Structure 1
Amino acid sequence: MKLVKTLLIAAAGLAAVTAQAEKLTVAATAVPHAEILEHIKPLLARQGVELDVKVFTDYVQPNLQLAEKRVDANYFQTKPYLVEFNKNRGTTLVTGVPVHVEPFGAYSRKVKKAAELKDGAVVAIPNETSNAGRALVLLDKNGVIKLKDPANILSTVKDIVANPKKLQFKELEAATLPRVLDQVDLALINTNYALEAKLVPTRDALFIEDARSPYANYLVTRADNQNAAAVKKLALALQSADVKAFIEKKYNGAVVPAF
């Protein structure tokens, strides 16, 4: 009887701890963001935080839903993207900690190197400012085009001052770029979408950013909850030695820690 009573008390205590767990809903794209978040779920659960990962396939809804307080945070974007989003959408989202860098790459199923691109070749790039600029800077760095200011991460096709092969640029939604690889000569693709399409950036990209890329992917919150206890626990977990080891082992250079 005493043992039964002890077990009942222990169960009640466990139920109380569970009931007190704070739920934290985080919006993320599937790879690698949601995978990294899933990895830290058990750690956060032990700290009293129930992590709910909401997966998105685009770069707009995660920010809109955060601004509308439908989620508590998101994890999918770079700081230049967020700055441009806030400016264009009138939102006031804030960056938390940087977690990883996804080196941006150029892919093709028609040529093996940039020098093989024919005159008038079609090059697909993302259609929003920060990633379009990132694509153009990478093309400039690899001698495909010349920009007015190679350091301007918000460059547009209007800033191209030399285009010796008269390349034609198609600006498309970032998520669709892997799907048009057969229709274009070259596509500049964000690594998360490349990984989802089963491309291996370190093997399949004709050229790619190196680990010194300034485009870290951040945890993003609102000003009203950036200092909440659960958000701070999430930030610490994302910058833990365990996450660093997980990223290095799982992604083999396609994703690199930013801390």
Structure 2
Amino acid sequence: MRKIWAIIGATTLATSLAACGSPSENAAEGDSDNGDLATLRVGVNPVPHGDILRFVQENLAADAGLDLQIVEIADYNQPNPQLVAGELDANYFQHRTFLGEWQDANPDDQLVYVSDVHVERLGLYSSEYENVDDLPDGAEIAVPNDAANLDRALRTLEAEGLLTVDPDAGALATENDIQDNPKDITVTPLEAAQLPRSLGDVDAAVVNGNYAIEADLAANDNVLAWEPDSAEDYVENYANGLVVRAEDEDDPGVAQLAELLHSDEVRQYIEDTWQGVVYPVDEQG
């Protein structure tokens, strides 16, 4: 996730994205092309976040007084800087652990996690092997290279008995914290977006749910294992949610969008569309 950012597509976006006040102020100043609707520019990963937000825009937003301008961003590195710069009013792509890591590296830029929306489970995929036990000694397994998801990937491999992680490693273990490795597995961190394409070059890869869906891995490759989601703090740490600048935390438009994202209609859409790879969660502040 250290590549140059790319905006793959977006709904109508103003030529200038300079910060000009809160989302509600933007609407009051005529920033919306839809009458009195409050306009929110929201940065998302294309799948599933973009799909979920488009469902909201097409089915729920207007009746709730919102006009959503959806800015699709392919990687994980740009949505927070763009939010800080005022190019977005909110973003929806990350979990609390990722935001906490980013906030530690950018202490002067205060962002606020508004609420959980959904969870994307990591999966261990392979183009060649059908079961975890089939992985050979010396297998190479690619994993996400950002700290939060690298730890999740290692815990997934640990749950399958492929390795053990040093219990003193804390919540952000890396490949250097592997304690026991009976099959002499090589763990190779890669940019998360590149993991589906890596399957032709490695024995297996632990892939983030959004990128697995986008690449249609479940149809084309073998799912050897799912990330365990039984830990008490799993949802709290890894649910993806809505994030805004600190000064916009109480903005009415933001609150309205958060409410829509927790509606029964959105819950049903997520359940019907992704059937367990992505699942909705109850609202948490």
TM-score by length of 2: 0.81
Cα RMSD for the two superposed structures: 1.9
1:17 & 1:71 partners in 2: Cα distance?
17
Q: Which of 64, 69, 72 is the aligned partner of 2:86? A: 69
Shift in Å, 1:78: 1.0
Q: Which of 27, 36, 39 is the aligned partner of 2:43? A: 27
Percent pairwise identity = 39
Shift in Å, 1:17: 10
| Residue pair 2:130, 2:223 contacting (<8 A) in 1 also | no
| Amino acid of the structure 2 residue aligned with 1:109 | S
2:34 & 2:121 partners in 1: Cα distance?
39
| Residue pair 2:93, 2:242 contacting (<8 A) in 1 also | yes
| Amino acid of the structure 2 residue aligned with 1:81 | F
| Amino acid of the structure 2 residue aligned with 1:28 | V
> Unpaired runs of 5+ in structure 2?
1-31
Q: Which of 255, 268, 272 is the aligned partner of 1:249? A: 272
| Residue pair 1:137, 1:150 contacting (<8 A) in 2 also | no
Q: Where do residues 137-156 of structure 1 align in structure 2 (5 Å cutoff)? A: 137-149=155-167, 152-156=170-174
| Residue pair 1:247, 1:257 contacting (<8 A) in 2 also | yes
| Residue pair 2:156, 2:228 contacting (<8 A) in 1 also | no
Q: Which of 181, 186, 189 is the aligned partner of 2:207? A: 189
* 1:84 is aligned to 2:107: no
| Amino acid of the structure 1 residue aligned with 2:42 | V
Aligned residue pairs: how many? Answer: 243
Using a 3 Å threshold, how does the CA distance of structure 1 residues 109 and 21 change in structure 2: closer, same or farther?
Answer: same
> Unpaired runs of 5+ in structure 1?
1-15
Shift in Å, 1:20: 1.9
| Amino acid of the structure 2 residue aligned with 1:47 | A
| Amino acid of the structure 1 residue aligned with 2:242 | L
Shift in Å, 1:165: 1.2
| Residue pair 1:122, 1:170 contacting (<8 A) in 2 also | yes
TM-score by length of 1: 0.89
* 1:128 is aligned to 2:146: yes
Using a 3 Å threshold, how does the CA distance of structure 1 residues 110 and 150 change in structure 2: closer, same or farther?
Answer: farther
1:54 & 1:150 partners in 2: Cα distance?
40
Shift in Å, 1:226: 1.3
Shift in Å, 1:18: 3.5
Q: Where do residues 1-259 of structure 1 align in structure 2 (5 Å cutoff)? A: 18-41=34-57, 42-90=59-107, 91-149=109-167, 152-200=170-218, 204-210=222-228, 212=230, 213-214=234-235, 215-259=238-282
| Residue pair 2:139, 2:184 contacting (<8 A) in 1 also | yes
Using a 3 Å threshold, how does the CA distance of structure 1 residues 147 and 20 change in structure 2: closer, same or farther?
Answer: same
| Amino acid of the structure 2 residue aligned with 1:88 | A
| Residue pair 1:137, 1:151 contacting (<8 A) in 2 also | no
Could you say which structure has the larger radius of gyration? 1
